[in-house]
Structure 1
Amino acid sequence: MSRRQPAKPRLHSRNRPQAPEPVSAPEPTPAPEPEPQAPSDDEKESEWRPSRPPSPPQRNEDISEGSEATVRAVRPEPTSRYANLNYWKARRVTFYRNGDPFHPGVEFRFKPGRDLVSMDALLDRLSERLELPRGARFIFGMDGDRKYRLEELEDGASYVVSSYKTFKGPSRSERITFSKAGNASAIPLVLQMSMGVDEHLGVLAARGRGARLLGCVDWRATLSALSTFSRFAVVTFVTRVTFDGKVWRPSRRRWLQLAEDSMLDSDEESFTVISLPVYTPDPPAASYGKKNGMWYGGTGTGTSGWARASVRKQSVAESDAPPPGGGKPSSGRVIRIINNMDHSIQCRVLLNLRTTQPFEEVLEDLGQVLKMSGAKRMYTITGQEISDKDLLEAETVIVSQVRSFSQLRNEFADVETFYLGSVVVPPALSPIVTAPLPIESPIRRQVTVLALHMLTNHESRSRATVASLPISEDSRGRRARSKSRPRVLYAPEGEIIRNSDYTLLEVLKEEPMRVTIRGLRRTFYPPIHHAPIDNSPPDKKMQLDWVYGYRGADSRRNLWVLPTGELLYYVAAIAVMYDRDEDSQRHYTGHTEDIQCMELHPSRELVASGQRAGRGRRAQAHVRIWSADSLQTLHVCGMAEFEAGVSAVAFSQLNGGSYVLAVDAGRESILSVWQWQWGHLLGKVATLQEELTGAAFHPLDDNLLITHGKGHLAFWNRRKDGFFERTDIIKPPSRTNVTALQFEQDGDVVTADSDGFITVYSVDSDGAYFVRMEFEAHIKGISSLVMLSEGTLISGGEKDRKIAAWDSLQNYKRITETKLPETAGGVRSIYPQRPGRNDGNLYIGTTKNNILEGSLQRRFNQIIFGHHKLLMGMAVHPDDEMFATAGNDKNIALWKGHKPIFVTQVGYECVSLAWHPSGGALAAGSTEGHLVVLNADAGSHVATLRVCGSPLNCLQYNTAGDTLAIGSQNGSIYLFRVSRDGFSYKKLNKIRGAQPLVQLDWSMDGNYLQTVTADYDLSFWDIKALSPEKSPIAMKDVKWSTYNATVGFLVSGMWNNRFYPMTSLITTASRSSAHDLLISGDSDGYLRIFRYPCASPKAEYNEVKVYSGAVHNARFLFNDRCLISTGGSDAALMLWELVDE
């Protein structure tokens, strides 16, 4: 006993009062600026006068000493927001969308503390009001400074809202109004000047009696702005301003100089707007005219130039011909352009058909007007006009491509509506092609063009002309090749859903799906072509077929043998009964959370098992007594009695197991005793021990209970009134951790501890326990003790991996010992193969989740293998009922049926796994950024490549197998060229990203990738361009070879589902090979199977729950008859069979 040194008692800080957190003081509100004084009579004599907002306040160092502003600058900041009454005043703030110069702004009025209590609440409101790709996450000032608190938002100010940390483009600008003195009927002129980026276009516009500001755009863009002077339409592209003979180009410095220069106060009457980037002299005096192909107004030198322009009766919008004296009618045209990706975005523009700018650049500029990136082609529909009924019966229509200005002047002179898109049509099919345009989707040509015509009629209200032409067999089977993105994909003829299955109008009426994930609203766009959505539950349900592995890494005393010879143990929330002879399993699935403890009844026919507490009423901690033969639940004890779980359970021995004890895993570790047949609580007591690892009834007294744990060994005598008398054998501050407990035949207590000692306690004549003997049996901890019938004690070491036999009849003399191999792990639990026989054969459960069989006289053989650390990586064979797993235990295993084919230990913890399409190679991604390649046939190591320094969370081969894409924790995608057999790898390129990637899918043609980030953002990547694809609408019709993404339109029904509360997150999802089923797993351990596509919150499902932690992975096997899942903290791997409902 001299080895045990007293330790100082631990001080508990559970109830210690915490100091209040300091409240950050708000920034002082700037002093209001004085109102500008009215202009004097002398100032009114000038012809033109700029009217601009007041200048910003000067810095503190520019204010003279002693002034009031100086005093406020040195005043100390308040220590609390309650000290500043301005904080509680109502505020009016305007928010603009980041990177969108056309956004009109959204005005918010709120009172801090009443309407909005935090910045997060404001971001939630902005996510509902502003259409942002990933919701409102960041708020910036006009100078790009990020705002973190409501106190930083000033009344009357403007701010920019973004989904990303990058501040894009200017939202701040200055408006200067030029008005004419002495002429009240003159139309004011408004010039918008950008203040944020060096190269920007200003937009000049005036409408009616007042002026209207139309916005500013990037210098590469061409904004088509229609402004009117009375009924005269003028389109003004402001690329520079000429005033008083000087040219001012739209750079930031020049705009500011133009805004502040005193020359605007001169008596010059002419303010000329030049629309081309080539220097030209001032235009001639006229009330209207044309310069370099652009119509202008009000450029005369007389005093009534603007007034004369306002009385013109003819409008360019009403006539294709320009005003008199303005040149030939073919020099300009007013047309309507429509965004082919989103038909709600359209605009009427005035085109200069004689410009020297190339037609391709004009198309790109027009695309910027429609908020498109990469507009390369202009299309229109030509032919004979037919009715809607004839349209639905037509086979195809002719779509024509516009290639030059001459075609707009001659061939398409009578066409008013044009579509802009990015699809490239081969020259062999020009000038008139029968291609699936202008709607860019993988649907067949007929349906695509019909959809275009329907949208043209109902959205843009312009009748397109179509012609019905027959389709040859060759043209039906031919696919139009495309070099620009997005590449048009086509479904095979056998997979096309005919109009008899769904109508075209139903597809066109589909709205984008909007779901809220982690408080952020996300929008997913529907593809034109997809299977009908069926919200009924699938006709298949999941039935547990096999549980792999064993839970030995974090539990104790969890292995028994039933009278039938079956092994009894538990994994996750499943109690497993494994028959070695028949190679079969039976499962008790009554628990809703992970099983924490289990005990076999003295008859060995009943089982008591306790589970941990979960979320919800159905997941409360309790003890279940059930039959090992019929798997029926006989009784449930302790529902709503336990706080966190059940750490120990045991049956009484003397009365045949009528009593059952349970220890609460909560803070007070309450010990309770039940008469389980009647459900009566006989008594309970708080042990007040932090870590109780076990409890048992004394075999000779059903009212004597023993509990043990860290620094704890106590005897509890239950009286008839239900109270307990406590006797501590090991008293604080002992550091001894009692890990196992057994009894001799005469009732003496045998314990094992974490120091490797075995101690025997006896009772003296007064009934007091004392230490009869103590000896060191193992190096460090002992995890298991078993007393055999003949008096032999078997002990197992957790650290030294030794199993030793001791003769209790000869003062525990060592009989023999053996040592387990390092790959098997340390000893966790020991149980004889044939209880009551003295043959020496044992079952050993290990700390590495393996079960061995053998004896001390011969070697131990592995009969059950399992991963013993977090299991994240999983892949299924492309054409066989096999699957592979890779975990943090550095093991990669290949499984077929119920057994592993091979287990290969690599040098890295693996988190992802992919199978080459040929089936001959396995690629695993590690937490340290290494790619490990194995031969899938033999399990041998092929190669190891260093990819990066971050975990490789996801990886996938394309359908051809010649390229491997790897998504990493650093947000980048790494591409590798792969040989035909999958054994040789060469790094191709890297696409940089910003957010950690967790899921990845290839498109069918191998041109695109879709990834999901850790924040559930759906991103697309162009492999050929090596860049992110920023338009989700452009990617909505791409077909994906696999669908493992947890977000998207076709899987959006998993989120915000009306049939279950969305208190958890979807952690994994996978589509079946037949594209008719969808499996999902969430962070609460639920597995749900839906019909695919699943795009409605009313989608019904079939579900099971077997994990307390998150489901890490779930995949269908290649034939869709089974699926495999991993999850929880114990690396639980389960095989499910899909059976008819």
Structure 2
Amino acid sequence: MRPNSSPNHAPLLKHGDAIYNEEEGALRMYLRGRPVVLYAPSDMATNYDITKVATAPQSKLKLDWVYGYRGRDCRSNLYLLPTGEMVYFVAAVVVLYNVEEQNQRHYLGHTDDVKCLAVHPNKLLVATGQTAGHDGRDSKPHIRVWNSVSLATICIIGMGELQRSISCLSFSKTDSGTLLCAVDEANDHNISVWDWQKGDRGQKVTETKCSVDTVVSAEFHPLDRGCIVTCGKGHISFWTLDNGGALYKRMGVFANREKPKYVTCLAFTHTGDVLSGDSNGNIIVWTRGTNTIARMISHVHEGPIFSLCVVKDGSIISGGGKDGMIKQMDSNLQSTGYETQIAEHLGGVRTLAEGRGSQLLVGSTRNCILAGGFGLGFSPVVLGHTEELWALAPHPLLPQFVTAAWDSIIQLWDATARAVVWSKDIGEKAQSATFSPDGCTIVIGCINGKWLLMDSESREVFAAHTDGNEPIQVASFSPNGEMLALGSRDNNIYVYQVSDNPRKFNRLGRCTSEKRRRKTTSTLISILGHSSFITHLDWSADSQYLRSNSGDYEVLYWNAGVCRQITQSSTMRDTEWATHNCTLAFTTIGIWPEGADGTDVNASVRSHDRRLLATADDFGKVKLYSFPATQPKSLCHVYGGHSSHVTGVCFLKDDTRLISTGGKDTAVLQWKII
């Protein structure tokens, strides 16, 4: 007799929290204490072994391309390397991108948001600093120094000593880059100096409080040994590092001049004077070796100056964070008459860097990177989203996909060309998206209950509908293209019929909870339907049925044509599903770690060849399983790169690539399946 069985009870097999009832062919698992019952397909039910361990797939993922850039809140994070590559970061990835050769390489040593970047005087080594991460020792804030050619990590600094996140980094210039200065975003914004070449962890030379207010920049002086300049909210400070390793600070004296709310950026002239830009649009010249103002050029920009760049010939380029203007001045800060404005929809200027020849590189406040010059203008080479990103949908026929975010921008990307095909502001914060089976129509679900119909080629939004006033969490066309299902945060699934005119949609009804009265007490009770928000949907291959998951971990089934719940879940055990986006299903048992609270996994997707299952989780990870993942113990491959919750994953049509989207990190990562 099997364990846990008796003549009077169905045989029960256990693995951790999961229990399998052989007689019913049903597995019971628990999420946050709530039971979830999943029925095994008939051909699997008899021989199912709950204790078996499923192996990880032979296929693996390799990061192929990174879309996006972090310019909205990080500074001085764009440089050109001698290799011809731009170096910048987004999420936990540092990107080395050669625009001319259309080639990217990626440094993947970090475990969470990269916040700052510095290039060594030899132009070979790079230092990057990250914020505190999700779990484990390696997720503590730290600095990594690495080789930009080999991508090998040379040393890891500050692990366990830095408190919150590193906001500024700078290598010393007068001693061949022996020292590294860092500012920690702790309460006192501590400034520390490291001899980074001492061992594989570096050696701290000194540390002291920098400022109670925000520090936005810290730079070693290029000509004066041991001199560091920092600036930020309401201050600029001039530091001297003495031979004993102590740091001494002199505050910049504004005297009778108006003190700006923020000193926003720093640069150094070829003669060693310090230039600062501020929130009033002024440039101030601080005489070399002093903390006093030599001169002030007022209102160079309307609004703050976010970047100053002194180029090879000594001229000075300034970038406006609000007005989007880029202006050139000669070495005496006299206007040369050269100025231009980047397109308004690309944002303001966050950072400026010298490119090849006379070319300039511009990082924008709306997470774009542009390249160009005063004569030819500036054109974007990197585009990204600026607010939380949830909507992701693969094109059903082409190697393309759309993303849409709370920034109201929807973008169509080409995975082969590794570029944006088009970008459009739809005027609504987007939560979900899907293509029609013929690829001609895109449905975009918004956070206010509205959903839009868009022509994928002309980009025309040709219709708008509203269902409730809560976010449309998920949208999905039936495989035959004749119906559309919309899962809302208001607990309902709205089902539409697509008429002969593909631009006309007629609502069939909604899959909702039914209220009935108890015969004995006449009290209203809810006996059917979801009692929490809809999270995921799948259509059956024959376009007749829907499977849905909700925020309280229910798995329900529906007759889509009449919007009626199928209460006997066991009758759906052999249904063939066109997609496997529901994270709660018998085929996805293995994606849930023991003790999972139900919020761990945000999305799942099955490959078209039915061999692989990918998931997006709340800890910045993309995981790859063999499909189906029917064992509670299913091994997988785990990939980092995102720094916040990963909100979506999708396989492209030919299964050669996987796309993942980060929520708050706004990054879109393209993985090659190898």
The reply to whether TM is greater than 0.5 is yes
Alignment partners' CA distance in 2, 1:509 and 1:671: 66
- For 2:28, give the aligned amino acid: R
In the superposition, relative to structure 1, how do residues 345 and 796 fare at CA in structure 2: closer, same or farther (>3 Å)? farther
Q: Which one has a bigger Cα radius of gyration?
A: 1
Shift of 1:1043: 1.0
The separation in 1 between residues aligned to 2:630 and 2:247, in whole angstroms, is 59
Task: Give the corresponding residue for 1:963.
Answer: 483
Aligned partner letter, 1:711? G
Conserved 8 A contact 2:350-2:363: yes
Q: CA separation of 1:601/1:1064 partners in 2, compared to 1, >3 Å: closer, same or farther?
A: farther
Equivalent residue, structure 1, for 2:66: 547
Conserved 8 A contact 2:308-2:316: yes
Asked if the contact 2:117/2:126 (under 8 Å) is kept, the reply is: yes
Q: Are 1:750 and 2:280 counterparts?
A: no
Change (3 A) 1:711 1:516: farther
* 2: CA distance, partners of 1:543 / 1:1062: 29
Find the residue that maps to 1:823 and give its secondary structure: helix
Deviations 1:1008-1031 (A, max 9, x none): 222222333323333244233344
Q: Is the 8 A contact 1:661 1:674 kept in 2?
A: yes
Contact 2:282 2:296 in 1 (8 A): no
- Pair 1:1117 & 2:652 matched: yes
- Find the residue that maps to 1:919 and give its secondary structure: coil
Q: Partners in 2 of 1:771 and 1:1051 — Cα distance?
A: 67
TM-score after normalising by structure 1: 0.53
1-structure distance, mates of 2:588, 2:630 = 6
Structure 1 residues 510 and 676, CA gap change in structure 2 (3 angstroms)? farther
Q: Cα 1:759–1:731, aligned 2, differ >3 Å: closer, same or farther? A: closer
Pair 1:822-2:344 in alignment: yes
Query: Is the CA contact (8 Å cut-off) linking 2:252 and 2:291 kept in structure 1?
Result: no
Give the superposition deviation at 1:735.
5.7
Aligned counterpart, 2:3: none
Q: What's 1:1090 paired with?
A: 625
1:1021: which partner in 2? 558
Q: Provide the identity percentage.
A: 33
Partner of 1:739 in structure 2?
A: 264
Preserved CA contact (<8 Å) 1:607 1:625? yes
Q: 1:403-418 residue pairs with structure 2 within 5 A?
A: none
1:977 matches 2:502: no
1:120-159 correspondence to structure 2 within 5 Å: none
How many Å separate the matches in 1 of 2:308 and 2:582? 48
Structure 2 Cα separation of the partners of residues 710 and 520 of structure 1:
49
Any residues of structure 2 matched to 1:805-954 within 5 Å, and which? 805-809=328-332, 811-813=333-335, 815-834=337-356, 837=357, 839=358, 841-896=359-414, 897=416, 898-954=418-474
> In the alignment, what sits opposite 1:294?
none
Q: 8 Å contact 1:741–1:751 — kept in the other structure?
A: yes
Structure 2 segments unaligned to the other structure (5+ residues)? 1-6, 13-19, 514-530
Q: 1:534 to 1:1006 in 2, by over 3 A?
A: farther
Report the AA paired with residue 119 of structure 2: L
Q: Work out which of the residue numbers 1102, 1108, 1125 in structure 1 matches 2:643.
A: 1108
- Equivalenced residue count is 631
For 1:1101, give the aligned amino acid: C
* Match in the other structure for 1:187: none
**Cα distance 1:985–1:685, how it changes in 2: closer, same or farther (>3 A)?**
same
Structure 2 counterparts to residues 76-115 of structure 1, below 5 A: none
What are the equivalent positions in structure 2 for 1:495-644 lying under 5 Å apart?
508=22, 512-530=26-44, 535-614=54-133, 615-644=135-164
| 1:777-827 deviation digits (Å, cap 9, x = unpaired) | 111111111011222111111111111112232x43353211111122211
Superposed displacement of residue 540, structure 1: 1.0
Q: Is the 8 A contact 1:599 1:649 kept in 2?
A: yes
Instruction: Please give the secondary structure, in 1, of the residue aligned with 2:117.
Output: strand
CA contact (8 A) 1:887 1:909 kept: yes
C-alpha displacement of 1:1033: 3.1
Query: Aligned residue for 1:370?
Result: none
User: SS of 2:372's equivalent?
Assistant: strand
- Bigger strand fraction: 2
**In the TM superposition, what are the counterparts of 1:753-772 in structure 2 within 5 Å?**
753-763=278-288, 767-772=290-295
Contact 2:53 2:633 in 1 (8 A): no
Residues 21 and 27 in structure 2, CA contact (< 8 A), matched pair in contact too? no
For residue 731 of structure 1, report the CA deviation from its aligned partner. 8.7
Task: Report deviation, 1:774.
Answer: 3.9
Partner of 2:17: none
Which residue matches 1:1081? 616
Q: How many angstroms apart in 2 are the aligned matches of 1:587 and 1:856? A: 31
**For 1:768 and 1:694, how far apart are their aligned partners in 2?**
17
Structure 1 residues 622-701: aligned runs within 5 Å: 622-678=142-198, 679-701=202-224
Partner of 2:520: none
Q: Deviations over 1:128-154 (max 9, x none)?
A: xxxxxxxxxxxxxxxxxxxxxxxxxxx
In 2: Cα distance, 1:515 partner to 1:822 partner: 52
Work out whether residues 537 and 1102 of structure 1, in 8 Å CA contact, stay in contact via their aligned partners in 2.
yes
Aligned amino acid, residue 757 of structure 1: N
1:723 deviation in Å?
2.0
1:901 and 1:987 map into 2 onto residues whose CA distance is: 32
Alpha carbons 2:31, 2:597 under 8 Å: kept: no
Which deviates more from structure 2 when the two are superposed, residues 622-631 or residues 512-521? 512-521
On the 8 A contact 1:626/1:632 being kept in 2, the answer is yes
Partners in 2 of 1:617 and 1:511 — Cα distance? Answer: 42
Aligned to 1:776: 299
Distance in 2 (alpha carbons) for counterparts of 1:974 and 1:554: 39
Shift of 1:651: 0.5
Q: What are structure 1's unaligned runs of at least 5 residues?
A: 1-343, 347-454, 460-505
Cα distance change on mapping 1:1003 and 1:942 into 2, 3 Å = same
Counterpart contact for 2:643–2:665, Cα < 8 Å: no
Query: 1 CA distance for matches of 2:60 and 2:370?
Result: 34
CA distance 1:683–1:1029, change in 2 (3 Å): same
- String of CA shifts for 1:301-320, please: whole Å, max 9, x gaps: xxxxxxxxxxxxxxxxxxxx
Is 1:1134 the counterpart of 2:669 in the alignment?
yes
Alpha-carbon separation, structure 2, partners of 1:923 and 1:855: 39
Hey, what does 2:569 align to over in structure 1?
Answer: 1032
AA at the equivalent of 1:820: I
Q: TM-score scaled by structure 2?
A: 0.88
The answer to which structure, 1 or 2, has the higher relative contact order (CA under 8 A, 6+ apart) is 2
Q: Distance in 2 between matches of 1:884 and 1:816?
A: 38
Give the SS at the match of 1:1053.
Answer: helix
* 1:702 Cα deviation after fit: 3.2
- Partner Cα separation in structure 2 for residue 681 and residue 768 of structure 1: 27
Gap change, CA 1:519 and 1:649, over 3 Å in 2: farther
